[in-house]
Chain A
């Protein structure tokens, strides 16, 4: 350690030009210099002036006015805002239905109709990821939902929720995973979250905030439906744009709001078709089309989940496990593997392989570890891999992104505090058996 510290101090002197070096230090100094070089750009006085002017525009009242004037101005502004709000309410009350929830619900055939829905899930930045097409059947009376997902015209997943039981057919792998509830799957029922059904339930509760807008040249309403607040002060809202004539939904966006930041849409779903279908017509929709698939049963813990033990494994112990654990090798982008833990709960066992605070790889079978269980509301994103398997991005309960690779014997999940989807996807390519 002392030698390392001396080396680190020497590196500083080399970088300063106070000392010459060769070998490792010279290579590191050169590398660090080259890495830093692109960031050594000038921010010109003109740009600073412009940014300051923009900042002034944002802070003007507080920059310019003394405190007493600010207080008076604040009072007047508040009074003005209240008066303006009253005017808006009084003048618009006659034009906007007070409860548009009722006609909107009726347009969907009422609270318990059967619906067939076709959605196009688009990236918020065009071209950033493939468009998914989802075809769904929602039988509210029978409490059944089925979604088929297509990417680039190829069906990749069929998911069925019926009587609380979830079946997921991984088409490329020809495997059906069956769970007794959503909790049997890491991503929960994230892909079963049907924005239309969520919207329909919100209409019944009458909790939407409504305003007018236009969409594609058509007069429309926007309904804002609060969804949930995540622990790191993130609020999620569903915004539904509905046609002002037919009251049918046209666009659904999931919007994330952080304190102090502008709201940002993170999912955009165009409703290509939504129509009520007779109950008899959906009878055959709730069967998976997987005649030759291998069926694998997943379990959901009955009662309360209790952790029984947690112990560190040596690599020798980990290598002895069968089937072998998947890991990222002895180190990942320079961060050595720091711990392999075996965690046992009353309903199953999972293995956690940590690379410091950089990234964690979970291996689990029957039971989904609570730390990577999905947030209840935000939909999952399905991405086909080159080898035909399906990876699934979803949001954990603390808002972090998880990448899950579901397998017949063991599933793998990757999570890193600073890792976004692309970085997780990069890590996925490095998975290998720990032998």
Chain B
């Protein structure tokens, strides 16, 4: 029943580009902002992701995964291409921190910058799990469906992501606190 409902949703999003765009554009922009460290570049690239979606989503076959999983994959690939391309042009400037929102006033600016940099340096699949679970708030069952991994594997990735962040911060002389 649930699978049938999911497939119906998949078909609906395939047929209605505007609904697809309205439903998922904001989270793709948030994801790309985290990957690229720039809200402006994220907006440009999100437009490219949806251009690709406009061309390709109607041709997708139902394989038990939502259209959103495909959008994230395309966004991740485009972000990687963009980062590579920028790196080839010029050395990247210090990544600008993502758009400020709900910042903890107790965090120092240095820590926030170090944290943004540390997040940026995580392996890309870890970044995706952090984003899906903690930014978008999907339960792990949904994260697993979108990433094509098991729930346990996704949970492990999040644990490792946390440890990597902590290690990176400690290298910068910043101690993670509870």
Residues of A within 8 A of B (CB): 4-5, 7-9, 11-12, 15, 22-23, 26-43, 48, 51-52, 54-55, 58-59, 62-63, 123-125, 128-129, 256, 258, 260-261, 264-267, 331, 333-335, 356-358, 383, 393, 395, 399-401, 418-423, 425
Residues of B12-62 contacting chain A, CB below 8 A: 17-18, 21-22, 25-26, 29-31, 33-34, 43, 46-48, 50-52, 54
| In the complex, B130 has a CB within 8 A of chain A | yes
Residues of A within 8 A of B121 (CB): 333, 423
Contact B86 A420 (CB under 8 A): yes
- Mask, B121-160, CB within 8 Å of A = 1, is 1011000001101110000100000000000100110111
Among the stretches B3-11, B65-73, B102-110, the one at the interface with A is B102-110
Which chain A residue shows the least CB distance to B156? A8
Residues of B within 8 A of A27 (CB): 166, 176-178
Give the distance in Å from the alpha carbon of A7 to the alpha carbon of B162 in the complex: 12
A117 to chain B, nearest CB (A): 23
Which chain A residue shows the least CB distance to B22? A48
Which chain A residue shows the least CB distance to B161? A32
CB contact between B140 and one of A12, A37, A267, A383 (< 8 Å): that residue: A12
Give the distance in Å from the alpha carbon of A399 to the alpha carbon of B85 in the complex: 9
Residues of B within 8 A of A51 (CB): 21, 25, 43, 46-47, 50
CB contact between B33 and one of A32, A39, A421 (< 8 Å): that residue: A39
Which chain A residue shows the least CB distance to B117? A426
Give the distance in Å from the alpha carbon of A128 to the alpha carbon of B86 in the complex: 11
A4 to chain B, nearest CB (A): 7
Contact B158 A11 (CB under 8 A): yes
Residues of B within 8 A of A423 (CB): 87, 92, 121
Give the distance in Å from the alpha carbon of A176 to the alpha carbon of B109 in the complex: 46
Contact B52 A260 (CB under 8 A): yes
CB contact between B156 and one of A5, A40, A421 (< 8 Å): that residue: A5
Which chain B residue shows the least CB distance to A55? B50
Give the distance in Å from the alpha carbon of A418 to the alpha carbon of B112 in the complex: 22
Give the distance in Å from the alpha carbon of A331 to the alpha carbon of B87 in the complex: 24
**Range for the number of chain B residues in contact with chain A:** 35 or more
Residues of A within 8 A of B165 (CB): 31-32, 35, 334
Contact B162 A32 (CB under 8 A): yes
Give the distance in Å from the alpha carbon of A334 to the alpha carbon of B165 in the complex: 8
A56 to chain B, nearest CB (A): 9
Give the distance in Å from the alpha carbon of A232 to the alpha carbon of B176 in the complex: 40
Give the distance in Å from the alpha carbon of A262 to the alpha carbon of B95 in the complex: 23
CB contact between A40 and one of B88, B102, B163, B177 (< 8 Å): that residue: B102
Residues of B within 8 A of A41 (CB): 30, 33, 98-101
Residues of B within 8 A of A421 (CB): 87-88, 90-92
Residues of A within 8 A of B30 (CB): 39-41, 43
Highest count of chain A CB atoms <10 Å: which of B17, B29, B85, B89: B89
CB contact between A425 and one of B91, B97, B176 (< 8 Å): that residue: B91
Contact B134 A33 (CB under 8 A): yes
Contact A418 B80 (CB under 8 A): yes
Highest count of chain B CB atoms <10 Å: which of A31, A54, A419: A31
Give the distance in Å from the alpha carbon of A43 to the alpha carbon of B164 in the complex: 29
Give the distance in Å from the alpha carbon of A125 to the alpha carbon of B112 in the complex: 26
Contact A40 B119 (CB under 8 A): no
In the complex with contacts A15-B133, A55-B50, A31-B162 CB distance below 8 A: yes
| Other A-B pairs beyond A32-B134, A36-B135, A123-B90, 18, CB < 8 Å | A4-B159, A12-B158, A15-B134, A28-B159, A31-B162, A32-B162, A35-B116, A36-B131, A37-B101, A38-B97, A39-B98, A39-B101, A41-B99, A55-B54, A123-B89, A418-B83, A418-B84, A422-B94
B156 to chain A, nearest CB (A): 5
Contact A52 B18 (CB under 8 A): yes
Contact B51 A59 (CB under 8 A): yes
Which chain B residue shows the least CB distance to A267? B89
Residues of A within 8 A of B135 (CB): 36, 39-40
Which chain B residue shows the least CB distance to A49? B22
CB contact between A35 and one of B22, B84, B130, B155 (< 8 Å): that residue: B130
Give the distance in Å from the alpha carbon of A361 to the alpha carbon of B160 in the complex: 23
Give the distance in Å from the alpha carbon of A129 to the alpha carbon of B90 in the complex: 7
Residues of A within 8 A of B33 (CB): 39, 41
CB contact between B123 and one of A29, A54, A357, A399 (< 8 Å): that residue: A357
Which chain B residue shows the least CB distance to A50? B43
Contact A39 B25 (CB under 8 A): no
